Amino acid sequence: MKGNILVVDDEQIVLKSCERILSPEGYGVDTATSAKDALSLLDRNLYDLIITDIKMPEMDGIEFMRLVRAKNPDINIVVITGYPSQESIKEALSLRIIDYLPKPFSPTHLIEVTNNAIELKKRGVTPEPQVEDYTEDVAARLDEIIDRYKNKPGSLIPVLQEAQELVGYLPPVVQRHISKGLRIPVSEVHGVVSFYSFFTMKPKGKHNIRVCLGTACYVKGAEEIVKKFSEGLNVDIGGITADKKFSLETVRCLGACGLAPVVVIDKNTHGSVNPVKALELLKEYE
Ligand code: FES
């Protein structure tokens, strides 16, 4: 078995999905519909990873994580986020979560986050997340960026932009680094990252494919195009190919409805795309 995982969520459907997705991947999965049940499972069993919702009745995920950390400071925790408050994100980050799993999540994303967390556990790296793209060199260059903007008003957005250019995306560990460097609360950093659509917390491929699913594109068959890209690349929406060449995402109206259906790859807009053209585009960017 690859590892034992405890999934905590008050929604049965989420628990069932996690079980259905992770069991065939070789994980032992226990589930709990409340933090209280999860704590009693933790008393009886050993787990390599906890995946927990934040918003739960009676005891919420934050309180649950606090109790878990008090007993087991080293266990890896991944948080499932629906629409969390800035306060809860701040708390979750201070409790040293490994990663976020935004609801709804794709099977690929769940497997990827789980594999990564289990790998970290095996390497004895807990609980500070070691993001592959966050190397010592990157950390030093982030410091250089921060130094250039330090003490200047309105520095957060330009620092985030340069950090995203450098790392490719803004994972929690980079947000914490910036928060510390600029002496801005991590909740504020996270708030800005999640507010602006040009910031992303997920890694992107060398070529990022955005398929518009706005009304004009949707009625002209954009869904079929998403399917073609997804099948052609063997990647879900929001995912990245194993070779990191392509990432796939959907967006709402790119402001070019006259060209519907529209696909933007990197900075290039492609109009009147159909499933055949979608495959041709993939070849073009290969
Ligand atoms: S709906 Fe797709 S560009 Fe407007």
Tell me how many helices (H) and strands (E) the chain has: 12, 9
Measured distance CA(75)–CA(117) in Å, rounded: 10
* Domain limits, the chain: 3-122, 136-195, 207-285
Q: Give the pLDDT confidence score for residue 198 in this predicted structure.
A: 78
Measured distance CA(103)–CA(14) in Å, rounded: 9
Total Cβ atoms within 10 A of residue 4: 15
Q: Please state, in angstroms and as integers, the Cα–Cα distance from residue 151 to each residue in 5, 191, 237, following that order.
A: 44, 20, 39
Q: Which atom of ligand 1 is nearest to the CA of 213?
A: 2
* Tokens at 229, concatenated: 């890209």
Give the pLDDT band (50/70/90) at residue 127: very low
Q: Which atom of ligand 1 is nearest to the CA of 214?
A: 1
Q: Give the pLDDT confidence score for residue 148 in this predicted structure.
A: 95
Cβ(89) – ligand 1 distance below 6 Å: no
Total Cβ atoms within 10 A of residue 102: 16
Q: Give the pLDDT confidence score for residue 130 in this predicted structure.
A: 44
Could you tell me if 40 and 71 are in contact, meaning their C-beta atoms sit under 8 angstroms apart? no
The reply to whether CATH 3.40.50.2300 applies to domain 3-122 is: yes
Percent of the chain at pLDDT exceeding 70? 92
Give 184-226 pLDDT, tens digit per residue: 887 788 888 877 877 887 778 889 999 999 899 999 999 999 9
The reply to whether CATH 3.40.50.300 applies to domain 207-285 is: no
Ligand 1 centre and the CA of 282: distance in Å?
A: 21
Cβ(257) – ligand 1 distance below 6 Å: yes
Give 59-116 pLDDT, tens digit per residue: 888 889 989 888 777 788 888 877 655 566 667 766 777 777 777 788 888 998 898 8
Give the pLDDT band (50/70/90) at residue 128: very low
Cβ(273) – ligand 1 distance below 6 Å: no
Q: Give the pLDDT confidence score for residue 155 in this predicted structure.
A: 93
